[in-house]
Amino acid sequence: MSGFITLLKRDLLLAVREGGALGTALGFYLIVVTLMPLGLGPDLNLLTRIAPGVLWVALLLAALLSLPRLFEADHDDGSLDVLALGSLPLELVAASKSLAHWISTGIPLALMAPVLGILLNLEARAYPLVIGTMLAGTPAISFLGSIGAALTLKTRRGGLLLALLVLPFYVPTLIFGISAISAALTSPQGFQASFLILMAISLVSMVLGPVAAAAALRQHMQ
């Protein structure tokens, strides 16, 4: 387990030192959300209605930007070969790297969402709901995304292919994230069911994602 923590710490340190991935993701998020009211016009009621959906979709796209680098950097400099020789199984290597991606990208994006909500006239009572569902849903984005990142590892400009591969898998997260928000805004009972399913999706992807990603990484080493 100490290998897991060591690797996690290194990846977070690298994310801080190199910084580019998070900056790009946050910048992209800001731009996409800013374009919405410009494109749709200043209809405040309309913006309020679509705000949670726009924030969620833009978050998915922004998180995708940094996914191709998840294993690529370690593959390019030979670290991945050495990581595979540790006492840590490759599944936990993949899990550690996905967790680092969630901490360094998923959480900052989720925390930035309410700031961008101002641009979309997000209802005041929806703010905690947006942050809550995003924090609960974004682990699925990192852990499911790790499968796509591992599969497209040796593909040149694999970013687009990666998006095609993993975006369909984000549909359940998106649906239950949005439905939890809208249910809570209309009736208090509906929130819990959707939110629990959202967390279940995240937990399942935390288990399955690393296993599938490690299988793909083993194939790449052949």
Partner 1 sequence: MQLSVKDLAVERAGRRIINNLSFEVSSCEALLLTGRNGAGKTTLIRTLAGYLTPTDGSVALKGYGEDRERREACHYVGHLNADKASLTVIENLRFWARYLGGGSNAASANGAQDRLWTALERFAIDPLADIPAGYLSAGQKRRLGLARLLVADRPLWLLDEPTVSLDVQSTALLAGVIEDHLANGGLVVAATHLPLGLANSRELKLGGQMSTAPAKGGALQ
Enumerate binding residues for partner 1 (CB under 8 A): 2-3, 6-7, 10, 13-14, 17-18, 76-79, 81-88, 221-222
Nearest CB to partner 1, comparing residues 171 and 221: 221
Measure the CA–CA gap between 173 and 68, rounded to whole angstroms: 20
CB of 33 to partner 1, least distance (A): 30
Nearer to partner 1, 45 or 87 (CB): 87
Between the two ends of the chain, the Cα-to-Cα distance in Å is: 27
**Nearest to partner 1 of 96, 205 (CB atom):** 96
Q: Which is nearer to partner 1, 164 or 221 (CB)?
A: 221
Q: How far is the CB of 98 from partner 1 (least distance, A)?
A: 17
CB of 109 to partner 1, least distance (A): 22
Tokens 């095609």 found at: 164
C-beta closer to partner 1: residue 83 or 199: 83
Measured from the CB atom, the residue of 10 and 186 that comes closer to partner 1 is 10
Question: At closest approach, how far in Å is the CB of 10 from partner 1?
Answer: 5
Q: State the minimum distance, in angstroms, from the CB of residue 76 to partner 1.
A: 8
What contacts 188, CB < 8 A, 6 or more positions away?
Answer: none
**Nearest Cα to Cα of residue 203 among 183, 165, 173:** 173
Minimum distance from residue 82 beta carbon to partner 1 (Å): 5
Letter for the amino acid at 102? W
